[in-house]
Structure formats: structure tokens, C-alpha cells
Amino acid sequence: MTGVTLEKAVKTYGNVQVIHGVDLEIADGEFCVFVGPSGCGKSTLLRMIAGLEETSAGKISIGSRDVTRVDPAERGVAMVFQTYALYPHMTVEENMGFGLRMNGHPKDEIKRKVAEASRVLKLDDYLKRKPAALSGGQRQRVAIGRAIVRGPEVFLFDEPLSNLDAELRVDMRVEIARLHNEIGATMIYVTHDQVEAMTLADKIVVLRAGRIEQVGAPMELYRNPDNKFVAGFIGSPSMNFLKGRVVEGGVEVAGLGGAVIATGVALPGAGRDVIVGLRPQDITLSAEPSALKVDITEQLGGVAYEYLSTPTGEAFVAESKGDDAIDSGTEVKVRFDPARVMFFDAETEARLR
Ligand code: ADP
């Protein structure tokens, strides 16, 4: 098992730079998730680690080995793609063993490795079937099995669950987490789904426009984001952002009836604008006469989301337990712990601390 290190990794296509000098250390056995909006460079970065894209400048190491110019097949990595690309005329067993067969491994070794992968992925009942007779989730498990039998030092996953329906996606997410627990290899996983990132990762790397915005454990990013982008990207529903103004004693939020929030952070001078961040989970609503009204309530059973709009034309969401949902049309007062509120610079969007 082996970690992965990127040093000032750059990717340019022609004269367009899409990865701008990324520094990153992924520890041995870590589950690292690259997350960010479409086009931010997640897949490119993963493909650079795999060797499927040439690295334009900088260095990529796997363990202590500089692999920047090493052939993909020699890097000790195995990649699982969004599309499974199984051979339709081969059985599950033959699909999983194909790579080893091509490399001339002995038959009994292939059989043993396929049996082990099949056990881990619960594919024992399907070994003699062809891909056409498998569900999408089973096909994706075969694709993962094909990676496992190669015994790579690092697994690379490129949005492996995107083609599955919502229910299967949840099942496969849990299976991938289980797989990581069982085999303990270094895994790097690309997704645009922040729920996948939160649930799978030891370490999340939030990317934006070819740069790292922040790296940290899921709860570190949730509780302690460095900027408005990360604060808004991690957490579901997203963090609410309201306009605030620095006044004597704190930050005045016009949208919340001019409430002044006392802050423990270094604020710019009085009269300056700041952005006030408040997570839906940190808001408590109570049905009381007020200028604020719930516009729409979404009841999900266990939880409910109340959507509100302020007299200043801003919008925000509160989360409550399903049993405590407040009906749409109800006037409400808003309560929250001031210590949970985050403040961001109105121009740079950096967190004020
Ligand atoms: P993501 O995986 O985060 O959606 P990508 O890594 O696929 O993003 O793409 C990052 C950026 O690189 C995008 O702006 C994309 O348009 C650009 N890009 C990707 N592949 C090529 C290519 N072959 N030629 C030119 N630009 C590319």
C-alpha cells in the first residue's frame, strides 16, 4: 500500500491551463475524494495520477516513486470508470480475470484472485453469467472486481456511481465504503456529489477552476470552511447566505428584522458589508407572529425543510425534524446559536475568523 503526492502539478491543453499547480498529499490507505462543480478539473487530475493524461509540469509520486513520466500500466494503479466497459461475450469470471490472463499469469493464481474479489464483492452467484444478464449495480461491481484482481497499490474511481439510479447509488456507496474498510488500499474518488464526498471520504479535496479551495476531513470542512465557496458546497441543503453590515456590537442582518449578531471574529470597520452564513441545521423556527412567513415546506419524513423569504428579498432554508415541521403560510420567529454563524468578506469571500 502506498500514498500519492502531487507537487505543483500543472495541466495545459494547448495554451489553456486547466490545472494550476496543485500540491496534495494523500496518505497510505486513505480514501480521498475530489469534489467540485463540473469542469473544475477533478477528472483531469485523476487521469494525471493514472497517467492517462500527461502532466505538463510538476511531479506526481506514488509511494517514493516519481511516476510523472511512467507508463500507466507501470504505475500500480487501477481505474474504475463511470461506464463499466465489460466484454459482453465473456462471463463475469472471465471479465474479472482478463487482465491477468493477458499478462500471462498462471491459471490457479487467476482463479484464486477472482474468487477473492468475488467474495469481497458478493458476486459468487453470478460468476458464470454474462454482463447482459446483470443489473447496473452488479456490472459496476464486476468493473470494481476487475480492478481488485490486479492488486493495485492505488484505486482510482471516476464518478463510478453516476450511471446508477438513486437507490442503487446508495447501496453501492455503502459497498465501496465496506470495500475500503476490508482491503484498506489507497483510494482516490472523483464525484460532483457532495453527499458521496461526505459519506465516503477520510479526506475531501474541494476543487474550483483547477485549484484546490480546501482540503480536510468531511466534518472539518462542514464545521470550519475557509471560504464561502466551500461553506456553500459542503452540506445539504446548502448553507444560507444573507447580507450583513458591521455595526456597533456585531453584524446587523436586515433580512432577519435588523437583528444584531454578536461575533467573536475580526470584522472590517463599521458600515462595511459582510456575508452572513447560517446552516439550515442550525436554525430553529417557532410559530409566532412575525414579519417572516414560511413559503414552502418540504416534508421528507425524518426531516423537513422550510423555505422562507425575507422582506429584503433574500431567501433561506431551515431544517427541522419531520415531526416538528412548520406548515407553509405560518408566521415564524428564527432562532440560532450566534456561535454557529459564520462571516465572510463581502469581496474576497474569505472566512472572517
Ligand atoms: P471535471 O471532471 O471537474 O468536470 P475536467 O477535468 O473534465 O472537469 O475538465 C477540466 C477542464 O479542462 C474543463 O474546463 C474542460 O473543458 C477542460 N478540458 C478537459 N479535457 C480537455 C481537452 N482534451 N482539451 C481541452 N480542454 C479540456
pLDDT digits (tens, 9 = 90+) for 8-38: 999 999 999 999 999 999 999 999 999 999 9
CA of 6 to the centre of ligand 1 (A): 19
Place of cell 438513486: 166
Considering the domain architecture, whether residues 20 and 155 belong to the same structural domain is answered as: yes
What's the predicted TM-score (pTM) here?
Answer: 0.94
Q: How far is CA 234 from CA 30, 36, 161, 279, in A?
A: 20, 10, 19, 10
Q: How far is CA 311 from CA 8, 97, 103, 266, in A?
A: 48, 64, 68, 28
Burial of 149: CB neighbours in 10 Å, binned 0-12, 13-18, 19+:
buried
Nearest residue by C-alpha to atom 6 in ligand 1 = 41
- Quote the DSSP letter at residue 125: G
- Quote the DSSP letter at residue 171: H
Q: Which domain holds residue 244?
A: 240-352
Considering the domain architecture, whether residues 250 and 214 belong to the same structural domain is answered as: no
CA of 28 to the centre of ligand 1 (A): 28
**Per-residue pLDDT tens digits for 56-100:** 999 999 999 999 999 999 999 999 998 888 999 999 999 999 999
Nearest ligand 1 atom to alpha carbon 37: 3
Considering the domain architecture, whether residues 181 and 291 belong to the same structural domain is answered as: no
Alpha-carbon gap, residue 264 to 244, rounded angstroms = 15
CA of 165 to the centre of ligand 1 (A): 25
CA of 5 to the centre of ligand 1 (A): 21
E strand spans, 288-336: 293-299, 303-309, 315-321, 332-336
Rounded percentage of the chain residues whose pLDDT exceeds 90: 92
pLDDT band at 168 (very low <50, low <70, confident <90, very high): confident
Count how many domains the chain has: 2
Residue 233 located in a structural domain: no
Nearest residue by C-alpha to atom 16 in ligand 1 = 39
Instruction: Identify the CA nearest to 318 among candidates 239, 256, 254, 258.
Output: 239
- Write out residues with Cβ below 6 Å of ligand 1: 13, 18, 36, 38-44
The last residue of a domain, from among 190, 224, 258: 224
Alpha-carbon gap, residue 260 to 262, rounded angstroms = 6
Q: For a substitution probing ligand 1, which of 11, 12, 13, 211 has the most ligand atoms within 8 Å of its CB?
A: 13
